[in-house]
């Protein structure tokens, strides 16, 4: 199976049941506490689940600046986006050697992890601006990722963590949340050797379905991992529970048996475009996938990135050998009226725009909220009914 990132063994920071876990829970009651942001809590969950291997914890300012500048930590590890524990006020843990990190997303704020404090640094304005601009490609606070990041605070708490649970993800998504190690095990159990991953934060329409099938065939993959983001999204996005239902229904009806694994991971969306696409590749390499589909506007938002910037970054900014996972570059796909099937739009030169069935995301949301199913060439009827019911209940 493909090696984990960094060619080291997978490094999940989750502490399984046993004496060490009991010791940490007892220690947590005596330690100074820090209430995490949702972003930092998601980082802790990803560290626990092994998706951030080989990292052991939250990065220092030096690592953050190095990653922002050239996608390398101070030790030389290739990494595209800083993994940080930022706080607006860290006075309660100033001077502490070890702290209890509390979960902001569950009642009572239970302890999520224990962190060894290697440094507590105040990030200067110019450093924060530099990191923001390099990671997101903009400092415009209308960008939802920038808005969230710049609201996290400037006190950076760095150091390794030992994670005690997976927050609300395991409870709310018991059939879907999976760690990197558990996906690797299932890949092995299924006997798959080549696996192509599809990242999604949205329900899957016909074009997404066909893109997965095109990538499976082009890469000669044994199976497809449809890997859902389960964390926080921007306002107006479809909740994870609805996406989960819709995706499972699509797989049940329209893919061959034992050809798709549906799983989810506990992370908040960054909307960081090209940099986030590289991070997504690391997640899937750590989960045992050999290929990742990177399509049009991957991890993007609005007009902040070009439609294929998330593909070109792998050619222009990812050093040779930095990743073992391979990228399948997906074109914009749509239903062809001429051919009566979904096609990669760039592969059919004899088509005019009116030969495709194209709907904007805004138009699709309007239709669904009005109880109108998009054309079956755009959205499978069974999926449309699930989404219409969501909008009816939300309405």
- 281-291 b/e (C-beta count within 10 Å ≥ 16 → b): bbbbbbbbbbb
Question: Using CA atoms, how far apart are residues 86 and 135, in angstroms rounded to an integer?
Answer: 16
Which residues are CB-contacts of 21 (< 8 A; sequence separation ≥ 6)?
A: 15, 164
Listed residue (252, 276, 188, 199) closest to 230, CA to CA: 199
Q: Which of 102, 201, 216, 275 is catalytic?
A: 201
Given 25, 106, 150, 202, which residue is catalytic?
202
Active site residue 202: yes
| Helical pair 125-136 and 61-70, crossing angle rounded to 10 deg | 40
Strand partners, 329: 294
* Residue that is written with structure tokens 């088509």 in the block: 351
Catalogue the active-site residues.
201-202
């Amino acid at each position: 199976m493909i090696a984990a990132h960094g060619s080291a063994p997978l490094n999940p920071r989750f502490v399984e049941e046993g004496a060490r876990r009991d010791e940490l829970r007892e220690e947590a009651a005596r330690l100074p506490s820090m209430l995490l942001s949702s972003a930092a809590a998601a980082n802790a969950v990803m560290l626990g689940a092994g998706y951030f291997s080989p990292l052991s914890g939250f990065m220092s300012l030096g690592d953050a600046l190095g990653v922002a500048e050239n996608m390398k930590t101070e030790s030389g590890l290739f990494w595209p986006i800083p993994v940080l524990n930022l706080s607006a006020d860290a006075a309660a843990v100033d001077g502490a050697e070890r702290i209890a990190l509390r979960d902001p997303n569950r009642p009572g704020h239970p302890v999520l992890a224990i962190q060894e404090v290697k440094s507590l640094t105040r990030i200067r304005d110019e450093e924060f601006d530099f990191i923001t601009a390099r990671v997101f490609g903009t400092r415009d606070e209308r960008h939802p990722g920038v808005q969230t990041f710049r609201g996290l605070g400037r006190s950076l708490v760095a150091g390794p963590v030992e994670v005690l649970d997976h927050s609300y993800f395991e409870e709310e998504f018991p059939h879907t949340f999976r760690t990197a190690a558990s996906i690797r095990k299932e890949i092995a159990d299924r006997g798959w050797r080549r696996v192509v991953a599809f990242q999604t934060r949205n329900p899957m329409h016909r074009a997404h379905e066909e893109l997965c099938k095109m990538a499976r065939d082009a890469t000669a993959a044994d199976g497809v991992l449809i890997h859902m983001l389960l964390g926080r999204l921007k306002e107006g996005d479809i909740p994870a529970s609805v996406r989960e239902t819709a995706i499972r229904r699509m797989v049940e009806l329209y893919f061959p048996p034992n050809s798709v694994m549906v799983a989810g991971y506990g992370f908040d969306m960054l909307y960081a475009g090209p940099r986030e696409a590289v991070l997504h590749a690391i997640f899937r390499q750590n989960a045992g996938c050999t290929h990742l589909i990177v399509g049009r506007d991957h991890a993007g938002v609005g007009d902040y990135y070009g439609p294929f910037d998330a593909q070109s970054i792998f050619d222009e900014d990812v050093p040779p050998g930095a990743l073992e996972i391979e990228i399948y570059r997906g074109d914009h796909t749509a239903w062809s009226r001429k051919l009566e099937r979904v096609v990669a739009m760039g592969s059919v030169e004899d088509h005019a725009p009116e030969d495709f069935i194209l709907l904007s995301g805004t138009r699709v949301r309007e239709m669904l909220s009005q109880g109108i199913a998009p054309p079956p060439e755009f959205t499978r009827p069974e999926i449309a009914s699930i989404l219409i019911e969501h909008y009816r209940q939300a309405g």
